[in-house]
Structure 1
Amino acid sequence: MVKKIFRIFKKTVLWFLALSVFLVIVFRFVPVFYTPLMTIRAVENLFDGKDMVCSHDWEPIENLSVNLQKAAIAGEDATFLKHHGFDFDAIEKAMKSNEKGKKLRGGSTISQQTAKNVFLWQGRSWLRKGLETWFTILIEVFWSKERIMEVYLNSIEMGDGVYGAEAASKYWYRKSAKNLTKREAAGIVAILPNPRKFKATNSSAYINRKKGRIQAGMASVKLDY
């Protein structure tokens, strides 16, 4: 009985490993049109009696403003172009901050966020975090940094029912993502990771200060994929 259970477990793990590698390789070339979070938000809205809105328009990275790419790095992951999926200094700082009882903060890189957005569900369980680590390693191995940024900017939640840079640009600024100014790009990134709480336009004083910090940080970002 024990041996049978072990064999089943072993086969399950091997199938999962093979399937996960296959999916990562597929999404290296194929646009990600739908993510688990979009489904979760739709179900949440259904139970809340709201419309199940999902605005998402995939655009290749050449159609996404360089300003937005720089803003994402400046605001979310300053070492994105240098690390191999994990920023251990940021993780250590986050752990120390959380241990001191300060406001919870994360140390997730753009690579980790992309792995979570595309392949997993939201939450803080050890299982999900372990799977996030696995998928982060895979996309760092099989995808280029440019591809990671492309998928990230096309899949992340950027408003209530708004996913990806193109939909967010049209929602917040009534223009295409390729035409975003530095300030507008900083505005979209500034509302992360709570885009349903904060606004990129007519923003609060807190978000406006964050926009300023991101815009200032953009000056030192050199895109070298």
Structure 2
Amino acid sequence: MSMQLSREGIIAGPSSGEALHGLLNYLRKLKDAGRLQELADPLTGEISCVFICCDLPYQYMDGYFQKLGEKEFPPIQNQRWELSPEKAIRKFSGRLQPECLYPLYDSLTFRSNLACGNSQSSKNVILDLRRAEDFEAEHIHGARSTPLKNLSSKTGDIFDDPQALHMYWMNLRLKFSDEAEILRSIASPLLVVCYDGEVSRLATSLLRTQGHEAYSVLGGFPALLGEIRGRK
């Protein structure tokens, strides 16, 4: 029951779920005995109930997976804004072509800055969260380097680590707050890339709550780079 509470926005642990379960059992017994109306407000007829949320779910995450069946954990598919590399290239076709890679490879010919949306009059629509040195080594022409604190190629699955998830969420909130004016000047839609697509997925979620049309790429920059190279 605590998992259902959390999914409805009341972040609560097992003891909190048991408290609600006990309250519902008590109300059910009164109803079966025909006494439920004894709790009703004489003026409104409403019954007000309170239960205590005394714990959080984070330290019990493994227990949920161990004790509950697979049907309680349907797969999550962010189909609208989490793009495969192929779909990202189709949606951002003007910027994600072999000619738009930096540095340019021997077999590639750079047509023009304009072909990659890199003219001075164009707006940046690609946000690259990777470290500055990795961006310098390889990136998409016209992308905006916006390194995220503590992010590196060694960052693991943040969605399997509540503390890491919270840290990156706070870092992203601070970054997007500091860069709010810049973000408002960037033409939508935005494409966000990182090392593996996990942190960019979190960033995209936050950007969308702020009103931006943002997308992330499954597999991150390496997957996108591989798809672009395959089209040369």
Q: TM-score range by the shorter chain?
A: under 0.3
User: Quick check: which one's strand share is greater?
Assistant: 2
Greater relative contact order structure (CA < 8 Å, 6+ sep): 1
Give TM-score scaled by structure 1 length.
Answer: 0.21
| Structure index of larger Rg | 2
Give TM-score scaled by structure 2 length.
Answer: 0.21
